[in-house]
Structure 1
Amino acid sequence: MALQFPNPSRSYDASRHCVCFWGYDNSREITFLVDEAMLRNLQPGVESNERSILGAFDQGREKILEIAKKLYVSGPQNRYSIS
């Protein structure tokens, strides 16, 4: 089974300035962190607040999931950063 994203949940981590979301490889949960700089590349002019950053993530979700699938390698690692 390939990496799947059945759960649309995402959250903003203010201390890390990133959005976290989760994928699943069978029963393994994989955490992905997308930093604000990456989101600004996808949507220039986004403000530095939770609502704007999450909105930028939502608008770029399909592209971000494509990047996550390419980045992911099955194995012991369970956290990936997208920047």
Structure 2
Amino acid sequence: MRFWGYDSALEASFFIEEDALRRLEPNAHRNESGFLNAFDSNRDVICAAAASVYVRGSRGSYDLVAANF
């Protein structure tokens, strides 16, 4: 699943892998709806993980994997 974060006027793209979402919500349905619900239910944790890997001005895209959680 891809989502975007903002640092003032800078936009960064993040991709969270399916395995990472399953780590956060082990019982989530393995379909679009299930993964969207897992993302929504864990938004604060996901945003914290995204902030921890983000480096201002470094690159435009970051991957979040199960190990980030």
TM-score (norm 1): 0.73
Please state whether the residue corresponding to 1:22 is helix, strand or coil.
strand
Q: When you count strand as a share of all residues, which structure comes out higher?
A: 1
Q: Percent of pairs identical after alignment?
A: 38
Q: Which runs of 5+ in 2 are unaligned?
A: none
Write out per-residue CA displacement over residues 44-74 of structure 1, whole angstroms, 9 at most, x where no aligned residue: 1212210000000000110000000011001
TM-score (norm 2): 0.87
Q: Which runs of 5+ in 1 are unaligned?
A: 1-18
Write out per-residue CA displacement over residues 14-64 of structure 1, whole angstroms, 9 at most, x where no aligned residue: xxxxx1111112211101111110011011121221000000000011000
Q: RMSD of aligned C-alpha atoms?
A: 0.9
Equivalenced residues, count: 65
Question: 1:37 maps to what in 2?
Answer: 19
